Amino acid sequence: MGYYVPAVLFYDDKDEFDVPAIQAHVLRLAKGGVTGILVQGSNGEAQYLSREERKTAIALTRKTLDDNGFQNTLVIAGTGAQSTRETIQFCIDAKESGASHALVLTSSTWPAQMTPDNIIRFHTAVADASPIPVMIYNFPTVTSGLDLDSDVIGALAKHPNIVGTKLSCGSIGKLHRLASSYPAASFATFAGKSEFFVQGLVSGGAGGITALVNVLPKVHGRAFALWKEGKLAEAMELQAKMGHADWAVQKLGGIGGVKAVITQAFGYGVPNVRSPLKSVSPASLQENKYFKTLEEMIELEKSL
């Protein structure tokens, strides 16, 4: 249980990993109290990385944490690929590179063929072969609209090596059904967006794995602590602000916007993204109404 971050990666002007910026980001997140770091989530541009880059990013994250006293901070690796064979290979690579868990997107090149039975077959085969526990990543936006329902995810939850799910579909009803059916100790159901982080906790979820944590790790920690202390009214007051901030980040340009905000607000890295994604200039943020929404929350983050 806790709050995790699908971390962005930073590149230099030659489109290579900006190692100092990646390390600075990992350490700011760890110091912000995150339970774990997801490498190669959707915000980590996984589909634009080579196999060797994937392994390097995982190993760099694990080593940076270990070298700085954060041995207990988990590293999860996004291992989804279009074939079952390659997905399994990415799970093996993830373990060898230092990840403790894998997060698997549903194959989606041929969505019409991905019937519920075939989706279950795909994830079961991956879980059978993976040397580390796996989680189901449900994000219709990046899987050709495939949206796994609670029946499909519930069937997969019974597999001994499938230990959770990240719901970026945004369905609080689905989260509630799963969380009330399977104890978090055996199958953890995570909100995939900050806009329903506290609502997910109230519904029995295990926490969140959300993009906004890249910008506001301590704020998420504060909301989590308020909920644990039973201060639900205060937690929901903060949640309302997080919901506006989450929407603002989405409107600033996706991954490029997240990186631009980090560069502008926290002073490390440059907001380069892998083509064909589009970069966002930090200078452009000042006149953007959505960035103004974030400024109050960034001030709160820096005060905590």
φ and ψ at residue 240, rounded to 5 degrees: -60, -45
The three-state DSSP-derived secondary structure of the chain is CEEEEECCCCECCCCCECHHHHHHHHHHHHHCCCCEEEECCHHHCHHHCCHHHHHHHHHHHHHHHHHCCCCCCEEEEECCCCCHHHHHHHHHHHHHHCCCEEEEECCCCCHHHCCHHHHHHHHHHHHHHCCCCEEEEECHHHCCCCCCCHHHHHHHHCCCCEEEEEECCCCHHHHHHHHHHCCCCCCEEEECCHHHHHHHHHCCCCEEECHHHHCCHHHHHHHHHHHHCCCHHHHHHHHHHHHHHHHHHHHCCHHHHHHHHHHHHHCCCCCCCCCCCCCCCHHHHHHCHHHHHHHHHHHHHHHC
Contact status, residue 6 vs residue 257, Cβ threshold 8 Å: no
Q: Which residues of 110-128 are buried (b: 16+ CB within 10 A; e: fewer)?
A: eeeebeeeebbebbbebbe
Q: Which residues are catalytic?
A: 137, 166
Say whether 209 counts as a known binding-site residue.
yes
Which residues belong to the annotated binding site for pyruvate?
209
Which residues belong to the annotated binding site?
209
